[in-house]
Amino acid sequence: MTKHASVRAGRILDAQLHLLDRQVLDADRVPIAAVDDIELTDIASGDIAVGTEGPIIENLLSGPVLATRIFGGRPPASRWHRVPWGLITELGTAIRISAPGSDLDVTWVERWMRDHVIGRIPGGRHAPE
Amino acid sequence: MKRLFAVALGVLTAIGGFVDIGDMVTNAVVGSRFGMSLAWVVVVGVIGICVFANMSGRVAAVSGRATFEIIRERLGSRAGLANLGASFLINLMTMAAEIGGIALVLQLITGIGPLLWVPLAAFGVWIVVWRAKFSHLENATGMLGLSLIVFVVAVIMLGPDWGALARQALVPAVPSDEAPATYWYYAIALFGAAMTPYEVFFFSSGAVEEGWRRRDLGQARLNVLVGFPLGGFLSIAIAASAAIVLLPQAIDVTSLSQVALPVVQAGGTIAFCFLIVGMLAAFFGAALETTLSSGYTIAQYFGWSWGKFRAPAAASRFHVVMIVGLLAAIGILLTGVDPILVTEYSVVFSAVALPLTYIPILIVANDRDYMGRDVNGPVANAFGLVYLVIILVASIAAIPLMIVTGAGA
| Sheet order of strands, A94-97 included | A31-34, A23-25, A94-97, A88-91
pLDDT digit string, tens, across residues B53-87: 999 999 999 999 999 999 999 999 999 999 999 99
Task: Tell me, yes or no, if B303 comes closer than 8 A to chain A by beta carbon.
Answer: yes
Given a cut of 90, whether residue B123 has pLDDT beyond it is yes
Kindly state the average pLDDT of the residues B10-23.
89
pLDDT of residue B235: 95
Compare all CA atoms of chain B with the CA of A23 and give the residue at the minimum distance. B303
- CA distances from residue B30 to B74, B93, B173, B251, B407 in whole angstroms, order as listed: 37, 21, 13, 12, 13
Angle at B70 between CA A81 and CA B200, to 5 degrees: 125
* pLDDT number for residue A74: 80
Assess whether pLDDT exceeds 70 at residue A63: yes
Average pLDDT over residues B146-162: 93
Q: What is the pLDDT of residues A19-28, one digit of tens each?
A: 999 999 999 9
Residues B104, B114 contacting (CB under 8 angstroms):
yes
Where are chain A's structural domains?
15-44+51-120
B97-101, B174-178, B180-184, B317-321: the lowest-pLDDT one: B174-178
CA neighbor of B120 nearest in space, from B107, B135, B137, B139:
B107
Q: What whole-number distance in Å separates Cα of residue B64 and Cα of residue B208?
A: 7
Q: What's the confidence (pLDDT) of residue A75?
A: 79
B366-400 tens-digit pLDDT: 999 999 999 999 999 999 999 999 999 998 988 88
| A1 vs B49: CA distance, rounded Å | 43
Q: Of B3-17, B197-211, B272-286, give the lowest mean pLDDT range.
A: B3-17
pLDDT tens for each residue of B267-305: 899 999 999 999 999 999 999 999 999 999 999 999 999
Q: How confident is the model at residue B101 (pLDDT cuts 50, 70, 90)?
A: very high
CA-wise closest residue to B70 among B364, B352, B354: B364
Q: How far apart are CA A32 and CA A83, in angstroms?
A: 10
CB contact under 8 A, B303 and A66: no
B309 contacts A127? CB cut-off 8 A = yes
Residue of B nearest to A22 (CA): B73
**In the predicted model, what is the mean pLDDT of residues A33-58?**
84
Q: Do A129 and B320 touch (CB under 8 A)?
A: no
CA distance B184 to B194: 15
Nearest to A62 among B63, B133, B303 (CB): B303
Contacts for B159 with CB less than 8 Å, ≥ 6 apart? none
CB atoms within 10 A of CB B215: 8
| DSSP state, residue A19 | I
The phi-psi region of residue B336 (left if phi > 0; otherwise alpha if psi is between -120 and 50; otherwise beta) is left
Residue B111's nearest CA partner among B119, B123, B103 is B103
Q: What is the DSSP letter of B406?
A: T
What is the rounded average pLDDT of the residues A81-106? Answer: 92
pLDDT for B91: 92
Q: How confident is the model over A50-59, as pLDDT tens digits? A: 877 788 899 9
H runs (alpha helix) in B246-345: 256-302, 316-334, 339-344
A124 contact residues in B (CB cutoff 8 A):
130, 311-313, 319
Q: Which residues on A lie below 8 Å from B301 (Cβ)?
A: 34
CB contact under 8 A, A93 and B65: yes
Furthest-apart CA atoms within chain B: distance in Å:
59
CA B59 – CA B39 distance, rounded (Å): 31
Between CA B163 and CA B159 the distance in angstroms is 11
For A36, the closest chain B residue by CA position comes to B77
Structure confidence at residue B250 as a pLDDT band (50, 70, 90): confident
CB neighbours of residue B162 within 10 Å:
10
| Alpha carbon A84 to its chain's center | 7
Residue of B nearest to A63 (CA): B302
**Average pLDDT estimate for B12-26:** 89
Name the A residues in 15-44 with CB < 8 Å from any B CB: 16, 20-24, 30-36
User: Taking the domain A15-44+51-120, which CATH number applies?
Assistant: 2.30.30.240
Give the separation between CA B52 and CA B165, rounded to whole angstroms. Answer: 30
CB contact under 8 A, B77 and A70: yes
Mutant choice from A118, A121, A129 vs B, greatest count of B C-beta within 10 A: A118
Pick from A93, A110, A128: CB nearest B131: A128
Length of chain A: 129
| CA gap B201, B284 in Å, rounded | 18
| % of chain B beyond a pLDDT of 90 | 73
Query: CB–CB of A110 and B317 under 8 A?
Result: yes
Give the Cα separation of B140 and B147 in Å (integer): 12
Question: Looking at domain B2-405, does it have CATH number 3.40.50.2020?
Answer: no
What per-residue confidence (pLDDT) applies to B306?
A: 96
Portion 280-299 of B in contact with A at CB < 8 A: 299
Cα(B160)–Cα(B247) distance, integer angstroms: 12
